Amino acid sequence: MGIGKGTEMGKKVLITASHYEELCGEAKALFERNGYELVINQKDMPYYTFEELSQLVTDVDGVVLGLDEWNEAVFKIAPRLKVLAKFGVGVDNIDLEKAKEYGIKVLNARGKNANAVAELAVAFILNAMRQIPWLDGELKEGSWHRFVGRELAGKTVGLLGFGDIARRVAKKLSGFDVRLIACDKYPDEEAAKRLNVTMVSQEELLGESDVVSIHVPNTPDNHHLMDRDAFAMMKQGAYFINTARGGLMDTEALCDAVESGHLAGAATDVYEYEPLKRGDRILSIPSIITTPHTGAETSEVYRAVSLSTAKGVMDVLEGREPENWVNRW
């Protein structure tokens, strides 16, 4: 069904996702063309505190949200709220059951950022094994260190989780002459066969992989899936890659595993608490590459996700059933 004028003009949409003005012009124009009033995040970071949200949500009908927390405390003071559209895929910052109780439909942009995150995971693997960021920093400081790294060819890469992003990683790595293994609660044997990936148990994956890249959802069952025991099960000198969620790993255990030399290095885009603060331990370890939750930060993703979420919000507020409805009832 096509996008048309809202059934009620003057619907109000809050956007807490960042960079909307600069990178989401088509979606912004789509909203405005259809009579929606927008309140747009002017900060660099997609995190609003409860106090900030409390000043904004009392009269909004829909939200395109970033990484702020949406729970009953917010829902109680947002009587008009009918739809939350996550600017991305993971909805672990939204209380889905409480949203359902309050009649709020939660949407995501499934698949729209998968390629960008998969590309970052591959970049992390190569950068970690050759320590490119550290070498760049050292050279710019005047030090001519010729770090002896490792080649990816001939290694075993383990994908912990085998959903869309992991499958894209497997496809991108297919030309690197690697052995690919994966584990998943609900293994897609057909996709594994197509991508030349061998499905194994989690224990086998951790014990056999030279690189472990994690791609599972951040559910309560998966909290600290990579804990001290899991890191200890990894091969001596292996690498750990996380482009999924920070809660999947015990950060202190990762730091210990790398600093002790058990792991050769790691790379992570996500953290248990965000944003990180100056002086956080993980930032002080040269062989752990850190980036500020930037996996989906590409112009292509901003366009695709902003259009998907805009259409989803408008579908709900105009009485149509939206795509990617996560807390369906």
Q: Active-site residues: which are they?
A: 245, 274, 293
3-state secondary structure 232-276: HHCCCCEEEEECCCHHHECHHHHHHHHHCCCEEEEEECCCCCCCC
- Which two tokens mark 329? 């009832």
Distance CA 206, CA 285 (A): 22
Cβ(57)–Cβ(37) under 8 Å? Answer: no
Which residue matches tokens 């990816």? 152
d(CA 175, CA 126): 13
- Outline where 76-199 has alpha helix (H): 96-101, 114-130, 132-140, 164-173, 189-194
DSSP conformation class of 325:
B
Q: How many CB atoms lie within 10 A of CB 145?
A: 11
Residue 91 and residue 85: Cα distance in Å, rounded? 9
- 294's tokens: 């930037």
- 83-86 β-sheet, strand order: 37-40, 12-15, 62-65, 83-86, 105-107
- DSSP label at 55? T
Residue 316, burial from CB neighbour count under 10 angstroms (0-12, 13-18, 19+): buried
The Cα 177–Cα 210 span in angstroms is 13
What's the rounded Cα separation, in Å, for the pair 224 and 260?
A: 20
